[in-house]
Structure 1
């Protein structure tokens, strides 16, 4: 306790006994001290017959020293995924002390990144293909076009993501607001779409079920991808994923007949979704769809809502997502972290 603090408390106590008729507020005004401090000092005196505060040296009254700082840092280094609360309980320290020590030791909190579960063979093949893809195709000034499919639940409220509500009492709101009910076998629609590094997008193709080679060729490539490629004045490179129907005999013949420059299978890295920004595009679209509480009734209804949400996105969203593709492919091919 500093001498100034002790003198202030003694002054409050002396003033009270000299002027017992004064309220706590009046004493505070007279001494220029806030009323809560006056009340706290007098309460402590009449309860404990002392004006000294109890010394707080961490959780359960244990002493805090430089040794405790080292223990905290050592524990985080031993188990980087441990929370502040877990470390505090394990070392018998307060959470606030652990948090301050964590900051003092230069320890920052980072989000764990999800990564594909590739085996060693896939990793070696992927790096080799990525190097060939970058050096032989992506160094050229071409627009890069990527396509993919995703499944979206007909009830947009069941799409992944956190939901919140505000209320004075948790149980004062209806159950349909408090709880998110999920169907085990919810109806889904399959969406195919292609996006380009110059922020162009194809129209979406929507259906129930899965895509086979003929549907992909006639509905996706012929009706939707080809018009997108023809919108470009300069050269383009089409990068499909490794789904078998994307490299079927009929599809390869279609590429050649329509003059489509595409990434060949021997240059396409396997199991490398981190190189494909369209996965983030799907997440952005689904997050926007969750704001619509209605359940779509048909493919046409779903397509209308998808296009409506797509139009509301900022025009540079796709371009920003595609900006880092070439850099990521190069880094992956060199064995660097993407």
Structure 2
């Protein structure tokens, strides 16, 4: 029986108990017995109504929490704006499962794990110079001028650097094939070059090239600049100022 069906039955039983049966338990039970309900079900509904004065489900105490409010407050203070602390280390400290740590942090605190963002690490003098040079470039570039950037990335064709290929399964490591057991790298192995140019208006068509070495100046000039970058500029920035 679903929750809404149980609530409907409780309401029917209580209304009949008050209105038709005039508070007589036996009359109420005989009426609902003819409809196929068990005596214990009707008796429990009426007794619960007499004790709690309602037919709705009330909050229950449930299983005691493994981590108290004081422990959660201490944990939140120790974790907030910190790194290098794992759930497994906390589970050993509080003598609970590591999933209990994650579940309680999610349900009882506003602390969430975040991925650290890569950023250059400056010393004090470098940070001052960076602020000064960024301000100089900001004032140097006109307001209506667009910045066009390009970049390339090389991808290995073997797939050994993919995180999902870092592990392998075997019943006996001594009998595993060499190409499965070892992460093999070939010197000057074939790579896939992907080049792309972007601006605030959009991005160019990508240039994909397979080679064993880095892209040469001739390939960059003919394939990237002349064939892809210039049409991209003509399409989006033909009548506008831009810096490449």
TM-score by length of 2: 0.51
Change (3 A) 1:171 1:126: same
Could you say which residue in structure 1 is the equivalent of 2:242? Answer: 237
Query: Residue 109 of structure 1: SS of its match in structure 2?
Result: coil
Could you say which residue in structure 2 is the equivalent of 1:269? Answer: none
Task: Give 1:82 shift.
Answer: 1.7
Distance in 2 (CA, whole Å) between partners of 1:107 and 1:198 is 37
- Out of 62, 85, 88, the residue aligned to residue 85 of structure 1 is 88
Distance in 2 (CA, whole Å) between partners of 1:204 and 1:126 is 33
Query: Residue 106 of structure 1: SS of its match in structure 2?
Result: coil
Change (3 A) 1:101 1:150: closer
Query: Residue 153 of structure 2: SS of its match in structure 1?
Result: strand
Query: Residue 74 of structure 2: SS of its match in structure 1?
Result: helix
Could you say which residue in structure 2 is the equivalent of 1:107? Answer: 111
| Structure 1 unmatched runs, 5+ | 1-28, 33-54, 59-63, 165-169, 240-338
| Structure 2 unmatched runs, 5+ | 1-37, 42-62, 172-176
Query: Residue 195 of structure 1: SS of its match in structure 2?
Result: strand
Could you say which residue in structure 2 is the equivalent of 1:75? Answer: 78
Query: Residue 150 of structure 2: SS of its match in structure 1?
Result: strand
Aligned pair count reads 177
Does residue 116 of the first structure (1) align with residue 120 of the second (2)?
yes
Matches within 5 A, 1:208-247: 208-211=212-215, 216-232=220-236, 233-239=238-244
Conserved? CA contact 1:145–1:196, under 8 Å: yes
Task: Give 1:89 shift.
Answer: 0.8
Conserved? CA contact 1:202–1:224, under 8 Å: yes
CA RMSD of aligned residues (A): 4.4
Could you say which residue in structure 1 is the equivalent of 2:149? Answer: 146
Does residue 187 of the first structure (1) align with residue 193 of the second (2)?
no
Higher relative contact order (CA 8 A, sep 6+): 1
Change (3 A) 1:30 1:119: farther
Greater per-residue helix proportion: 1
Rg bigger for which structure? Answer: 2
